[in-house]
């Protein structure tokens, strides 16, 4: 309209700026001529008004009516989906008054219609939120509520364009019950772990203490009667000593595995001379290897034999490796080699000429409590924890294990330290 008014003003200015013809007839004829800017502008203005009244305005009204109809259909469709939803659905205004609720939401109330009632009367947790702010900024919030002995997880979403908010509920009662059962089971497991740790510590003390006394007095008596008794009786002292060491070793393995599985083993890294640890272990096994008539050799291929590691872990690793090599070797010998590779990484290799292992068993070699031959009739003693402990302690000390073995051809185990 502003444009039309502007055009009319400009036209009048041009029209009256043109001189009139003096003769009346000529003046009227000239005025009504299409060349007259005023007549031309009036016609254009009439055309514009006609277009606005009979074409543009009706079309605009039709478009708005169609748009409103589409919005109404969309609202009905959304309302239909909400009504069919088996989970509760609420629509509310910025005061918390319920504008719409589906059947699942009504079932939470059980006292008639909910429209117009306060949402907090159904979901008390709503009072913890600023609904006006949530709607104004389109916030999306999550919370959990217990209603009629059921647990619901709600999602609240503000819709600033419509100045409303909506809440979608989901019944998570079964999920919550499962979660509570898992938490209870975890607590029970933690309690069981405490009881197990206490039991192992107590039983360890109760067995080790008398066992230490037995081994000590056995050694004293053996020295005192040496040469004074029959050889058969002297063998009995050796049997007591071997059996006591076996029992002590089994207890140590069980305790170590328990600590490792519980993640309670603490590393104490320090500079450790690996060769000195191996020499101490060899000294312990010299008597056993001599009785078996096995050659026990230790070869040093480097002068740099110290690394940063946990001393106790290394003792357990090499004790188990050397013990297995001697135990499973009937003839020949065991050779221990310490050296460094081309990257200056320290390695310890233990070669034996024993019974070897099959490829199938090597795949499960590090599984606790397993041996290639199982059962009470197995030909070799042991708890089946040795290799599992070697693997766990090696991993803790950033060491890699390489194994080569053939049935009845011996075994080679190399511990490579990446430190």
Q: How many CB atoms lie within 10 A of CB 330?
A: 11
Q: pLDDT band at residue 26, thresholds of 50, 70 and 90?
A: very low
Q: What is the pLDDT of residue 21?
A: 40
Instruction: State the angle between helix axes of 274-291 and 311-327 in degrees (0 to 180), rounded to the nearest 10.
Output: 30
Q: What is the pLDDT of residue 261?
A: 78
Q: What is the pLDDT of residue 248?
A: 83
Name which of 230, 228, 312 is nearest 268 in CA terms: 312
Q: What is the pLDDT of residue 374?
A: 58
What single-letter DSSP state applies at residue 54? Answer: I
Q: Which residues pair with 333 in a beta bridge?
A: 295
Residue 378 has pLDDT above 70, yes or no: no
User: Could you say which of 1.10.3470, 3.40.720, 1.10.287, 2.60.40 is the CATH number of the domain covering 177-264?
Assistant: 1.10.287
Instruction: Give CA–CA dist 152/178, Å, rounded.
Output: 14
Q: Which two tokens stand for residue 214?
A: 């037995």
Cβ contacts of 104 within 8 Å, gap of 6 or more? 85, 86, 87, 88, 89, 169
User: Higher-confidence residue: 374 or 354?
Assistant: 354
Residue 385 has pLDDT above 60, yes or no: yes
Residues 102 and 89 sit within 8 Å (Cβ to Cβ) = yes
User: Higher-confidence residue: 400 or 265?
Assistant: 400
266-417 classified as CATH 3.10.290.10: no
Domains 86-171 and 177-264 share a fold: no
Tell me the residue ranges of DSSP E strands in 275-409. Answer: 295-300, 306-310, 333-340, 346-352, 399-406
Q: Give residue-wise pLDDT tens across range 219-241.
A: 888 888 877 777 777 778 878 88
Q: What is the pLDDT of residue 68?
A: 59
Element (H, E) at 410: strand 410-417
Q: Which residues pair with 156 in a beta bridge?
A: 141, 167
R_g of the chain, CA atoms, integer Å = 47
Q: Give residue-wise pLDDT tens across range 293-334.
A: 999 999 999 999 999 999 999 999 999 999 999 999 999 999
Q: What is the pLDDT of residue 160?
A: 92
Residue at token pair 């430190």: 419
Instruction: Give CA–CA dist 285/139, Å, rounded.
Output: 73
CATH number of 86-171: 3.30.450.20
Q: Give residue-wise pLDDT tens across range 54-78.
A: 777 777 777 777 665 555 454 444 5
Residue 207 has pLDDT above 70, yes or no: yes
Domain ranges of the chain: 2-67, 86-171, 177-264, 266-417
Q: What is the mean pLDDT of the chain?
A: 82
Residue 291 has pLDDT above 60, yes or no: yes
Q: What is the pLDDT of residue 19?
A: 44
Name which of 194, 151, 193 is nearest 174 in CA terms: 151
- The conformational region for residue 398 under phi > 0 = left, psi -120 to 50 = alpha, else beta, is left
Name which of 405, 391, 319 is nearest 361 in CA terms: 405
Q: What is the pLDDT of residue 313?
A: 94
User: Higher-confidence residue: 167 or 31?
Assistant: 167
Residues 279 and 310 sit within 8 Å (Cβ to Cβ) = no
Instruction: Give CA–CA dist 349/325, Å, rounded.
Output: 11
Residues 394 and 403 sit within 8 Å (Cβ to Cβ) = no
Q: What is the pLDDT of residue 148?
A: 86
**End-to-end CA separation in angstroms for the chain:** 87
Cβ contacts of 201 within 8 Å, gap of 6 or more? none
Residues 384 and 376 sit within 8 Å (Cβ to Cβ) = no
Q: How many CB atoms lie within 10 A of CB 337?
A: 17
Mean pLDDT of 92-106: 90
Mean pLDDT of 148-157: 92
Q: For the chain, what percent of residues have pLDDT higher than 70?
A: 81
- The conformational region for residue 293 under phi > 0 = left, psi -120 to 50 = alpha, else beta, is left
Instruction: Kindly report which listed range (192-206, 217-231, 235-249, 273-287) carries the lowest average pLDDT score.
Output: 192-206
Q: What is the pLDDT of residue 37?
A: 63
Instruction: Give CA–CA dist 284/278, Å, rounded.
Output: 10
Residues 98 and 91 sit within 8 Å (Cβ to Cβ) = yes
Residues 412 and 403 sit within 8 Å (Cβ to Cβ) = yes
Strand 140-147 and strand 346-352: pairing?
Answer: unpaired
């Amino acid at each position: 309209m502003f444009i039309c008014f502007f055009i009319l003003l400009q036209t009048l200015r041009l029209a009256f700026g043109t001189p009139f013809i003096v003769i009346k007839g000529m003046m009227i004829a000239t005025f009504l001529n299409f060349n007259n800017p005023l007549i031309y502008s009036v016609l254009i203005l009439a055309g514009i008004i006609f277009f606005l009244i009979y074409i543009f305005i009706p079309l605009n009204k039709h478009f708005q009516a169609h748009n409103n109809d589409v919005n109404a259909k969309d609202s009905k469709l959304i309302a239909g989906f909400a009504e069919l939803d088996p989970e509760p659905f609420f629509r509310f205004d910025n005061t918390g008054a319920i504008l719409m609720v589906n059947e699942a939401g009504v079932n939470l109330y059980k006292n008639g219609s909910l429209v117009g009632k306060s949402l907090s009367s159904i979901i008390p947790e709503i009072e913890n939120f600023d609904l006006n702010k949530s709607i104004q900024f389109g916030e999306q919030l999550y919370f959990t509520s217990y209603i009629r002995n059921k647990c619901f997880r709600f999602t609240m979403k503000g819709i600033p364009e419509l100045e409303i908010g909506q809440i979608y509920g989901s019944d998570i009662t079964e999920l919550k019950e499962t979660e509570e059962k898992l938490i209870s089971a975890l607590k029970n497991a933690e309690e069981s772990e405490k009881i197990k740790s206490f039991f192992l510590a107590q039983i360890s003390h109760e067995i080790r203490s008398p066992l230490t006394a037995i081994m000590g007095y056995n050694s004293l008596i053996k020295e005192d009667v040496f040469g004074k008794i029959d050889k058969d009786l002297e063998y009995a002292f050796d049997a007591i000593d071997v059996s006591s060491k076996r029992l002590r070793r089994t207890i140590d393995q069980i305790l170590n595995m328990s600590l490792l599985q519980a993640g309670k083993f603490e590393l104490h890294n320090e500079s450790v001379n690996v060769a000195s640890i191996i020499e101490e272990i060899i000294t312990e096994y010299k008597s056993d290897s001599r009785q078996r008539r096995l050659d026990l050799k230790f070869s040093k291929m480097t002068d740099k034999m110290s690394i940063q590691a946990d001393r106790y872990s290394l003792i357990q690793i090499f004790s188990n490796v050397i013990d297995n090599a001697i135990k499973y070797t009937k003839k020949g010998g065991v050779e221990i080699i310490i050296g460094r590779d081309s990257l200056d990484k320290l390695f310890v290799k233990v070669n034996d000429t024993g019974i070897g292992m099959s490829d199938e068993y090597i795949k499960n070699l590090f599984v606790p409590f397993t041996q290639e031959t199982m059962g009470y009739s197995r030909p070799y003693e042991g708890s089946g924890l040795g290799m599992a402990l070697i693997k766990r302690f090696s991993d803790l000390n950033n060491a890699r294990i390489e194994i080569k073995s053939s049935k009845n051809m011996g075994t080679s185990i190399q511990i490579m330290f990446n430190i």
